[in-house]
Amino acid sequence: MGIRGVCVTAWDIRPSEVGGVLRKAATAAEGLAKAGQGVQKDLPSAATAAGTISGMYCGATAPTGPVSAALGEFMQTWLKQLAYVAQRTSSSLNGAAAATNAYVEGDLKMAADAQHDALKEPKTDMPGVGKK
């Protein structure tokens, strides 16, 4: 039985179409990675520019304010989530590619086995031959 009571009787995979989907997904993942890099680059300067509510300070010695602290906490949580999504995406794409390759290899093996079986000498049992 397949998913939700659907009986699966055969595989119907088109490797070239799977490859196309994997390429599109990889391109989208690259876009996600670039967005993540942009946030990693820009968020610290945004936190610094957020300033403080404790007075007039300038430079590296300026204390951080609540907005800066909140952005820092956001970035720590967000980076963990982004790393998780990146790992899951990579695992999913690699798993789909590996499964498709195994499917193709299985098809090729089945075809080779069938061809090998077709080339075997046929066994014929003639009636009455060898019986006494």
Predicted confidence (pLDDT) per residue in 44-53, tens digit: 888 877 766 5
Residue written as token pair 């590996």: 98
Contact between residue 65 and residue 54 where contact means Cβ atoms under 8 Å apart = yes
Mean local confidence (pLDDT), 20-29 = 93
The pLDDT-based confidence of 26 (bands split at 50, 70, 90) is: very high
Closest CA to 94 of 45, 41, 22: 22
Which amino acid is present at 131? K
Contact between residue 52 and residue 38 where contact means Cβ atoms under 8 Å apart = no
What pLDDT does residue 1 have? Answer: 47
Average model confidence (pLDDT) across the chain:
80
Question: Coil, strand, or helix at residue 45?
Answer: helix
Q: Which residue has the higher pLDDT, 52 or 66?
A: 66
The model's pTM: 0.61
Most confident of 44-48, 67-71, 88-92: 88-92
Contact between residue 79 and residue 97 where contact means Cβ atoms under 8 Å apart = no
What pLDDT does residue 61 have? Answer: 59
For 54-63, what is each residue's pLDDT tens digit? 555 555 555 6
- Integer Rg of the chain from CA: 31
